[in-house]
Chain A
Amino acid sequence: MATEVLPDDRALRSGRRKRALAHMEAHDLDVLVLGRSANVRYVTGARGLWTAGTHPFAPAAVVVRATGAIHMLSTWDEGIPDDIPHEQLYGLTWNPMNWVTVIRDIEGAATARRVGTDTISPTFAQLLPLAFPFAELVDGEPAMRAARRVKTAEEVSALRQAIGVAEASLAAAVGELRPSVSERHLSGVLLEAAAAGGVTTPATQEVAWVTSRDHPWRRVDTDSRVGPGDLVALTAGVVAGGYIGEVGRTWPVEGGDPAAVRDLYRRSAGLWELLFAACRPGAPAGDLLAAYDTAGEPLPPMPVARGLGLGFDPPVVTSGLPATAAEERLEPGMALAVTAYVWRRGVGAVLRREAVLITPDGAERLTSSPVWKR
């Protein structure tokens, strides 16, 4: 982070815009109206104000394919790249009809035939046709997903930086792990370390928890303090330069059954090796689900893998979407957060999450945080 609000680097911006425009063409879209923060960042290269959780749809950026012009919601020009001039900025409004007026006046709106949105609310589904009188309103998210699923070299470099901050903040929390420390304290330390490392925007705030000895995934809901023999899971997720860096580790606290703990970590390591082996170009994403079966481990409650990028990127590999995973092929340039999760009654769970980049001849692990070994 710098001492002033800067737009994303020019090479990063132009590489992404080229991909976005190419996929607009491939999806026959004249205009894209984007509301999701990650899509907006992808095409504009401007950092927005981070607020937690989902946001209701509003037209925060408009991309016109014919001219390549990008119009965006911003009441000021700080941090806005110079290729989005003042005339292409529109200010915050609380009045839905003002959105219509602003968008209707954008060059290309009056003649657009096909307009994509990345999601929509029923209200905007009624309003947007007023701004695009001759257009069919369609789903534009597939075009953005297609653009975003494969990372440019500049994006990979941004991901590496984000992962670096995530790993440093994880290390700070691991350093505080001892009996009687609270989950809250660990969360506070990790988030503080990320912020001090220049990232004040978390990707997840589910930071530290004592894994349950009685249930495969539920949280121990007692006093939220670490006790002897607990297996404590820690996940760090940051949004740095817009990109999500994630890493997860589980550390045991002294006082458990050493043989049982060692056995569980052995299972975790075996599962991870199978998962990493499934990360290869051309393979179906479903191989990641199959890796659990091969290892003899039940599928975990959370996605086994999901794309890393500016937010939610394909694929999402989860027990709930087996057909989707079977159809999806891994490609060089995809980045994934891959989760190995094992549990044993009476002991607890070991969660391990690694960031992986699919390469032309295999895969590269982007994370390097130490794993507990005995």
Chain B
Amino acid sequence: MTVIDIPAEPDLPRMNRERGARLRTAMAGQGVDALILLGNNAVTYATGASWPLGDSGLAHVDRPVAVVVTDDPWPHLFMPFREGTSARSPLPADHVHPPVYLEFDEGVRNFAAVVADLVPGGARVAVDEVTGAMRRAQKALFPGGPPGDAALVLTAAKVIKTPDELACIRTALRITERAMADVEGALAPGMRQIDLSAAFVRRAHEHGALANVLDPIWQVMPASREAGVWTTHGDLALPLLTTERELARGDVLWTDVSINYAGYCSDFGRTWIVGQDPDPRQREQFAKWWDIHSAVKDVLRAGATAADLTRAAVAANGGSKPWLPHFYLGHGMGTDPAEMPFVGTDLGEEFDAQLVLEAGMVLVLEPVVWEDGTGGYRSEEVLVIEEEGWTALTDYSYAPYGD
């Protein structure tokens, strides 16, 4: 059996080359000659540029943009001169351009003039976002007709990770786990949820995170579904936002955090109890979660479908879905914190049956079990799919429930 050999350190130039090749294969597969990318994570994937991500509100106006043309091995990057921009760029100097401002007619006019030089006339162009100013300049910017959706090209390219991408994800996970170990070690009654967030962001940055990706979640679980907040589907809410709420002894916390390293996200989820050990009923919740997650891992390998996984999970849970209706049993992860493959979403059973898993895909498994009066149990485990099974990218403890 061959297992993917994940290097100890990512080779970033090699990673960029291999991603570029995957992207161009996906473009060819979908008949796309050129990509114009505005989404932060898409630009990172296409160009290798990574930077500490900011708030989405600011990101719209001060964002890098990428242009990928199928017969040029290098992408073009229009990079805002951010404060503290790294001196190192993975691209040749003539492929790095001054920033463009696609929220403004003037910015789009300037950009269209450059794009006309880079993209041959008549090329089939795909784009991931069309701002209002781009829509107004549609004829100049997309002379070959309305653009296709670049998200479909990105999804196809990103779904299988190269060994260097896996090394980045593993590093992101290790940084996260070191930071969370510090937070878990300090967890005590009387702390506020935001104190945990404060400790986490500090430790994550000190351990090498490029950026925090998610406002950290420390959701105190209700005594019963009935006692929880109202939801559109009647099941549990998740994730509920962090406040200054003080944690009390015995509170069951569903935690969820994510950071970025070299453009790659981590995902971490564990159930913790504040200031005490689980009682026997709570341990049973964990045992049930463990059974479900083991049953899924038993069928997980290249060639299995998403439906094979959901079936195994439902069977291990006695016939009902062990995940929340607005989420999934599992999801992929890469430059986006949640990306394809999605397993068990409302895309439906037919979608799951047609989704064949392949070696090199990353899957974050996150089944959920719930019984009123216990706080339930939820953890996330990050796996890479192999020809004959899977490899775990994490080994964080399940304490205080078990090892």
CB–CB A3/B63 < 8 A: no
Q: How far is the CB of B70 from chain A (nearest CB, A)?
A: 18
Q: Chain B residue with minimal CB distance to A311? A: B57
CB–CB B243/A5 < 8 A: yes
CB–CB B246/A3 < 8 A: yes
Which of A8-16, A85-93, A107-115, A268-276 makes up part of the contact surface? A85-93
Other 13 A-B pairs with CB < 8 A, given A51-B213, A121-B130, A205-B53? A1-B244, A49-B241, A52-B55, A56-B151, A75-B237, A90-B232, A91-B233, A122-B150, A192-B199, A196-B195, A205-B211, A220-B87, A302-B82
Which of A38, A139, A205, A311 is in CB contact (< 8 Å) with B132? A139
CB–CB A78/B198 < 8 A: no
A sample of 11 inter-chain contacts (CB < 8 A) reads: A1-B244, A5-B240, A36-B57, A52-B53, A53-B53, A120-B135, A188-B203, A191-B212, A206-B84, A320-B98, A324-B101
Interface size on B, residues (CB 8 A): 96
Q: How far is the CB of A115 from chain B (nearest CB, A)?
A: 13
Contacting residues of chain B (48-86) with chain A, CB-CB under 8 angstroms: 51-63, 80-86
CB–CB B342/A122 < 8 A: no
B373 on the interface (CB 8 Å rule)? no
CB–CB A188/B87 < 8 A: no
Contacting residues of chain A (35-91) with chain B, CB-CB under 8 angstroms: 36-38, 47, 49-57, 74-79, 86, 89-91
B291 on the interface (CB 8 Å rule)? no
CB–CB B104/A79 < 8 A: no
Which of A77, A196, A205 is in CB contact (< 8 Å) with B194? A196
Chain A residues in 8 Å Cβ range of B87: 212, 215, 218-221
Q: Chain A residue with minimal CB distance to B236? A: A76
CB–CB B84/A219 < 8 A: yes
Chain A residues in 8 Å Cβ range of B202: 188-189, 191-192
CB–CB B199/A205 < 8 A: no
| CB within 8 Å for A78 and B101 given contacts A56-B39, A91-B232, A195-B198 | no
Which of A149-157, A231-239, A288-296 makes up part of the contact surface? A231-239
B242 on the interface (CB 8 Å rule)? yes
Which of A38, A50, A79 is in CB contact (< 8 Å) with B214? A50
Q: Chain B residue with minimal CB distance to A38? A: B57
Contacting residues of chain B (1-54) with chain A, CB-CB under 8 angstroms: 38-41, 51-54
Contacting residues of chain A (95-153) with chain B, CB-CB under 8 angstroms: 95, 98, 118-123, 125, 139-142
Interface size on A, residues (CB 8 A): 92
CB–CB B106/A51 < 8 A: no
Q: How far is the CB of B364 from chain A (nearest CB, A)?
A: 15
A372 to B350, CA, bound (A): 64
Chain A residues in 8 Å Cβ range of B130: 119-122, 125
Which of B216, B229, B243 is in CB contact (< 8 Å) with A3? B243
CB–CB B201/A188 < 8 A: yes
A141 to B126, CA, bound (A): 22
Q: Chain B residue with minimal CB distance to A117? A: B132
A317 to B317, CA, bound (A): 57
Chain B residues in 8 Å Cβ range of A141: 103, 131-132
- Residue-by-residue, is B118-139 near A (CB-CB < 8 Å gives 1, otherwise 0)? 0000000011111111011000
| CB within 8 Å for A38 and B206 given contacts A4-B243, A78-B240, A320-B107 | no
Which B residues are within 8 Å of any A CB, using their own CB? 38-41, 51-63, 80-88, 98-101, 103-107, 110, 126-133, 135-136, 146-151, 194-195, 197-199, 201-206, 208, 210-216, 229-233, 237, 239-246, 260, 325-328, 337, 342, 345-348
A125 to B129, CA, bound (A): 10
Chain A residues in 8 Å Cβ range of B99: 318, 320
Chain B residues in 8 Å Cβ range of A312: 57-58, 60-62, 103
Closest 10 CB pairs of A and B: A311-B57, A301-B81, A139-B132, A195-B198, A192-B202, A209-B84, A52-B53, A205-B52, A53-B40, A91-B232
A217 to B244, CA, bound (A): 39
Chain A residues in 8 Å Cβ range of B88: 221
A358 on the interface (CB 8 Å rule)? no
CB–CB B244/A53 < 8 A: no
CB–CB A123/B206 < 8 A: no
| CB within 8 Å for A3 and B147 given contacts A120-B130, A187-B205 | no
A125 to B83, CA, bound (A): 35
A118 to B41, CA, bound (A): 20
Contacting residues of chain A (217-264) with chain B, CB-CB under 8 angstroms: 217-221, 233, 235, 237, 239, 244, 248
Q: How far is the CB of B236 from chain A (nearest CB, A)?
A: 9
CB–CB A37/B57 < 8 A: yes
A200 on the interface (CB 8 Å rule)? yes
| CB within 8 Å for A78 and B52 given contacts A185-B206, A217-B81 | no
Q: How far is the CB of B83 from chain A (nearest CB, A)?
A: 6
CB–CB A119/B215 < 8 A: no
| CB within 8 Å for A78 and B51 given contacts A122-B147, A239-B57, A321-B104 | no
Chain A residues in 8 Å Cβ range of B241: 5, 47, 49, 78-79
Chain B residues in 8 Å Cβ range of A50: 55, 214-215
CB–CB B52/A200 < 8 A: no
A141 to B51, CA, bound (A): 27
